[in-house]
A and B are shown apart, each in its own frame.
Chain A
Amino acid sequence: MSILSMTKTLMKSVFHGPYTLLYPIKKKEVFEHTKGSIEIEVADCIHCGLCQRNCPTGAIQVDRNSANWSIDRLDCIQCYYCVESCPKKCLKMGNQYSAPAVKKVRDEFTNARVSGN
């Protein structure tokens, strides 16, 4: 039965200083695999629609006629199933997470070489 069992831990933390980072002055380092948001090289996209069919939440919309590829940032659950199903490998998982927003945010990318000409 001891009543001062916490003393060693408390003394160590007094001399160590804070264990937390002073965010936003010092940001946390990201690792190579950290899941952030989906990025696309839209020039390589062939608009086959495989990513739209495989997305579990339906966040991706692909329009072949207008050569448009869009993603709803707040619906995306960062599962990167679309990255694995793309036949042209033009999707990538970036390290930076999309910023918090008040309304739904839809990011659109149009393939300028195919549409408009």
Chain B
Amino acid sequence: MGERTVIPFGPQHPVLPEPIHLDLVLEDETVVEAIPQIGYIHRGLEKLVEKKDFKQYVFVAERICGICSFIHSLGYCLSVEKVMGIEVPERATFLRTMWSELSRIHSHVLWMGLVADGYGFESLFMHSWRLREQILDLFEETTGGRVIFSACEVGGVRKDVTVEQLQKIKSTMISFEKELQEITNVFLNDASIKSRTKGVGVLTKQMAYDLGAVGPTLRASGVASDLRSTGYAAYGKLNFEPIIETDGDCYARTAVRIRETFQSIDLVKQCVDMMPEGDVRVDVKGNPDGESFIRLEQPRGEVLYYTKANGSKFLERYRVRTPTFANLAPLLEMLKGCDLADVPVIVLSIDPCISCTER
């Protein structure tokens, strides 16, 4: 029976990308228990609905997080449109889907770079982020911003895309896919990466379901649950299947995200081919009254939006439940029984985004 020590991990740590604090209870280099502590960047964004009217709040909603910014603004617009019963033109739904999938590609490639940095593989980190620049240039050309686009509004999208820009998106996707093959080959086949991720942080299928895991964390344990199958925005017309792996360790989670990136490249090409003609926005008159629950699929998992409105131009309540909040409980389970040196790899494998979690 070894001695127990408590080591604090975070919120500032050279290998940790997010300000989360974990108190690790160790017995001779093996983690026995972990107690989380968050609250370092709580900004109280949900309380701003009392001050900004429902058309201005979309700019606050997209600034909840930098990486998942477009999908937060899409979720806000879908919730208010569901409460008010607005029907958005078809071209707008396809543009929103295309931008969501490009956001997913950029988020997964960013995560691949961070996890490579977590192992100490700096050159792989730099190459992943070099590829990501091509996606950010596409965003700047079509919407005007690289990270925060301000492209979605209640009633449609604010900017239209020309035929030349659509052709450029398609040709960029084809060349991006070839370059991405070389980088992901390193992630999946390199001996040093395999020795650090295989068998580390195992989450069985029953535990993942009981503890409320979402997103790639759930899909890497064998549960086929992907919110895009419910068919919101234009996903009902696109052709795809949820990607699952069965091992439940860090290697499986990496493989799920890499395969999802290639699937998203294919979905973007499908969107460009099927883009219908027409308007991109409708006028919105009146105030929202009612409530709604909307669930979307962010790159990190399932996100839930609850909106309640009472007829005035200010919403009464807007609640966001982000995927990292739901993945914190499985994280504590995964950390039991691992070595101290594996802790950064496991924390990075759930793709934490604490800025979304605490709003």
A2 contacts B189, C-beta separation under 8 Å = yes
Q: B residues within 8 A CB of A93?
A: 144
Interface flag for B50 (CB, 8 Å): no
Q: Which of A9, A31, A56 contacts B186 (CB 8 A)?
A: A9
Q: How large is the interface on A (under 10, 10 to 19, 20 to 34, 35 or more residues)?
A: 20 to 34
**A6-B124 CB under 8 A given contacts A54-B56, A77-B59:** yes
Let me know if A117 is at the binding interface, CB within 8 A.
Answer: no
Give me 10 A-to-B residue pairs in the complex whose CB atoms sit less than 8 angstroms apart, sorted by A's number. A1-B191, A5-B185, A5-B189, A5-B190, A6-B124, A35-B145, A35-B150, A56-B56, A79-B59, A93-B144
A78 interface contact, C-beta 8 A:
yes
| Residue in B closest to A31 when the chains form the complex, CB atoms | B141
**Interface: A19 (CB within 8 A):** yes
> Interface residue count for B (Cβ, 8 Å)?
27
Of all chain B residues, which has the CB nearest A12?
B182
Assess whether A81 is interfacial by the CB under 8 Å rule.
yes
Which residues does B use to contact A, with CB under 8 Å?
52, 55-56, 59-60, 123-124, 127, 130, 140-145, 150, 158-159, 182-183, 185-186, 189-192, 194
Does B145 lie within 8 Å of A3, measured CB to CB? Answer: no
How would you classify the secondary structure of chain B's contact residues: helix, strand, loop or mixed?
helix
**Are B52 and A3 within 8 A (Cβ)?**
no
Flag if A9 contacts B183 (CB, 8 Å). Answer: yes
Q: Which residue of B lies closest to A35 (CB)?
A: B144
CB of B186 within 8 A of CB of A5, answer yes
Which of A2, A32, A35 makes the CB contact (< 8 A) with B190? A2
Contact with B along A10-45 (1 / 0, CB 8 A): 100100000100000000000111110000000000
Taking A2-B190, A81-B59 as known contacts, 4 extra A-B pairs with beta carbons closer than 8 A to each other, sorted by chain A number, are: A5-B189, A9-B182, A31-B140, A34-B140
Q: How far does the Cβ of B297 sit from chain A's closest Cβ, in whole Å?
A: 26
Instruction: Write the nearest CB–CB distance from A11 to chain B, whole angstroms.
Output: 11
Residues of A within 8 A of B143 (CB): 33
For residue B141, which residues in chain A have a CB less than 8 angstroms away from its CB?
31-33
B-chain residues with CB within 8 Å of residue A77 when the two chains form the complex = 59
In the complex the two chains form, what is the Cα distance from A84 to B157 in whole Å? 13
Q: How far is the CB of A101 from chain B (nearest CB, A)?
A: 21
Q: Indicate which residue in A5, A6, A33, A79 contacts B159 across the interface (CB closer than 8 Å).
A: A33
Please name all residues of chain A whose beta carbon is closer than 8 Å to the beta carbon of B123 when the two chains form the complex. 6, 10
Cα separation A1 to B140 with both chains bound (whole Å):
40
Residues of chain A within 8 A (CB-CB) of B142 are 33
Which A60-117 residues have a C-beta within 8 angstroms of B? 77-81, 84, 93
A54 — which chain B residues lie within 8 A by C-beta? 55-56
A1:B189 contact, CB within 8 angstroms: yes
B194 near A1 (CB under 8 angstroms)?
yes
In the complex, are the beta carbons of A2 and B145 less than 8 A apart? no
Nearest chain-A residue to B161 (Cβ)? Answer: A33
Enumerate chain A residues within 8 angstroms of B158, measured Cβ to Cβ: 84
Closest to B151 in A: A33
Q: Which residues in A have their C-beta under 8 angstroms from that of B127?
A: 9, 13
Inter-chain CA distance A8–B127, complex, in Å, is: 12
